[in-house]
Amino acid sequence: MMILVAGPYRSGTGDDPAKLAANVHAMNAAALELFDAGHLPVTGEALALPLIELAGSSRVGDGPFDRIFHPIAERLLERCDAVLRIGGPSAGADAMVEQARAQGKSVFTDLAGIPAA
């Protein structure tokens, strides 16, 4: 399955770069486990962050950031089979879960619950 890993990016970080990086690391660690289980993991951050930088963003939450960050995850989810929701509170990750359910996709909250590829 192609699985979107959705978790907090900004929530609870105060936009502290080290905390943002830790959240990306947590999503990437989950993605690696999915990959090792035979799935194709994706994160919106992996696609969005380089584009946001190229678009001229100077800080998290500015115009270029807002134009790209959530919309790219929404477009990506349309092509995924499922979502793995990780981490703590996150309005954005919860929106991805709601969108996945509305599209009839599987939603997982635990790596152990994902069937082997």
How do residues 96-112 score in pLDDT, each as one tens digit? 999 999 999 999 999 99
Q: What is the pLDDT of residue 74?
A: 95
Q: What is the pLDDT of residue 101?
A: 97
pLDDT band, very low/low/confident/very high, at 61 (cuts 50, 70, 90): very high
Burial (0-12, 13-18, 19+ Cβ within 10 Å), 97: buried
pLDDT exceeds 90 at position 116: no
User: Any residues with CB less than 8 A from the CB of 27 and at least 6 apart, and which?
Assistant: 5, 6, 7, 43, 45, 86, 87
Look up residue 77 and give its amino acid. L
Domains of the chain from N-terminus onward: 2-111 (3.40.50)
Name the percent of the chain lying above pLDDT 90.
98
- Alpha carbons 87 and 6: distance in angstroms, whole number: 8
Buried/exposed 44-72: b ≥16 CB within 10 Å, e otherwise:
bbbbbbeebeeeebeebeeebbeebbbeb
**What's the whole-number mean pLDDT along residues 24-35?**
97
pLDDT band, very low/low/confident/very high, at 76 (cuts 50, 70, 90): very high
**What's the whole-number mean pLDDT along residues 32-52?**
97
40: β partners: 2
